[in-house]
Amino acid sequence: MRSLIIRFLDSEGPGILETSLKENSYKITYQDTYKKGLELVPESAQIFDLILLMGGPQTVYNESEYDFFKPYFDLVEQALALNKKIIGVCLGSQILAKVLGAKVEKGKNGTEIGFSNLKIKDSSYFNSKSELNAFHLHNDTFDLPSGAKLLASTDKYENQIFEYNKSFGIQCHLEVTPLMLQTWWKVHKLNKQIGELKSSYLEDAKSMNEFAKPIFDKMIKG
C-alpha cells in the first residue's frame, strides 16, 4: 500500500499519523508544495492508495491562490472518483470540503487556538468517548459537505471532523506531537497569542496522541 503526504509548510507534517501509516504497512511519499520546481506526478491519484493533505497558512477561498491550489483540487477530485481514501487535516480538510462543494470561509467566531474539548457526534471511530481534549489552530472553517457525516464538533466551530465515503476531513490537530508543538510555538508565534508553552500543553499533546493513534488506525483501515 502506498500513501502520499502533501505538506504545505515544513513544520506541519503528519505527526502521529506517520506512526499509524508505518504500522499499517504503508509506504510513504512526501510532496512538499513549498519547494519550488516540484510538481505532482500527473498519475498520483492512480498510484497512491491513500492521500493525506496536511495543514498550512494558505487560504483555500482566496482567489489569488487558486492556481497554487488547482493541482491539489484536481488530485482530490480524481482520487474521490477512483474511490481512493483521503485524509485532510486543517487546511487539508478545507481542500476536501471545497472539492465536495462545501463553502469554505473565514470563521465568524474568530481564531480557534489551543486545547479545548472536542465533542463527539458519532462514536464509531472514538471508542465510545463523548469528549476529547484536542489542539486547534485555525481561522477558517467550512460547511458540512452534502452527503458527509459529522463526527465531531466544538462549541466555537461545529464542523470539526467529517466522514465522506472512505475519506475524512479533520479541522483540529489530533496529529500534533509534543515535539511538533514546541516547533509550532516558535514558527506560528503562539507565545504571542496564548502565552508561553507550558509543560501541561506537552502533557496534553502526549495524552491526545494516545487516543488519536487508534482513531487514525481505524480511519486508515476503514
Exposure string of 63-102, with b = 16+ CB inside 10 Å and e = fewer, is eeeeeebebbeebbebbbeeebbbbbbbbbbbbbbbbbeb
Of the candidates 90, 112, 138, 172, the residue annotated as catalytic is: 90
Give per-residue pLDDT as tens, 157-214.
999 999 999 999 999 999 999 999 999 999 999 988 899 999 999 999 999 999 999 9
The string of DSSP codes covering 154-211 is: -SS-S-SEEEETTEEEE-SBSS--HHHHHHHHHHS-THHHH-SPPHHHHHHHHHHHHH
Give the pLDDT of residue 127: 80
Residues of the chain with pLDDT > 70, as a percent, come to 100
Number of domains comprising the chain: 1
pTM, full prediction: 0.96
Mean pLDDT (whole number) for 4-30? 97
Q: Is 136 a catalytic residue?
A: no
Q: For residue 67, is pLDDT > 90?
A: yes
Q: Which residues pair with 53 in a beta bridge?
A: 6, 88
Enter the C-alpha cell of residue 82. Answer: 477512483
Q: What is the CATH number of the domain that holds 139?
A: 3.40.50.880
Tens of pLDDT, residue by residue over 119-172, are: 999 888 988 778 999 999 999 999 999 999 999 999 999 999 999 999 999 999
Q: Which domain holds residue 159?
A: 2-221
Contact 35, 82 (CB under 8 A): no
90 is catalytic: yes
pLDDT for 128 equals: 74
- Mean pLDDT, residues 63-81 taken together: 96
Q: Is residue 130 helix, strand or coil? A: coil
Q: How far apart are CA 16 and CA 137, in angstroms?
A: 17
pLDDT score recorded for residue 98 = 98
203 is catalytic: no
The DSSP code for 63 is G
| Lowest model confidence (mean pLDDT) among 23-37, 101-115, 122-136, 142-156 | 122-136
Catalytic choice (18, 112, 136, 173):
173
Cα separation, 40 vs 90, whole angstroms:
21
Burial class (CB in 10 A: 0-12, 13-18, 19+), 189: exposed
Phi-psi region of 189 (alpha: psi -120 to 50; beta: other; left: phi over 0): left
